[in-house]
Structure 1
Amino acid sequence: MPQLAWQKSSFSTGGEGECVEVAASPPSHLHLRESDRPHVTATVEPRALAQLLHAVKSGGLRP
Structure 2
Amino acid sequence: MRDRSTPVWVKSSRCDASNCVEVADMGPEILIRNSLFPAGDVVGVSRRDWGAFVAAVASGRLASAE
Q: What TM-score results when the alignment is normalised by the length of structure 2?
A: 0.67
Can you give the 5+ residue segments of structure 2 that lack an aligned partner in the other structure? none
Q: Alpha-carbon deviation of 1:18?
A: 2.1
Match of 1:45 in 2: 46
Mapped to 2, the partners of 1:57 and 1:10 lie a distance apart of 17
Matched, 1:35 2:35: yes
Identity of aligned residues (%): 25
Count of matched residue positions in the alignment of Structure 1 and Structure 2: 56
Structure 1 runs, 4 residues or longer, greater than 3 Å off = none
Can you give the 5+ residue segments of structure 1 that lack an aligned partner in the other structure? none
Q: Using the TM superposition, name which of 44-53 and 17-26 deviates more.
A: 44-53
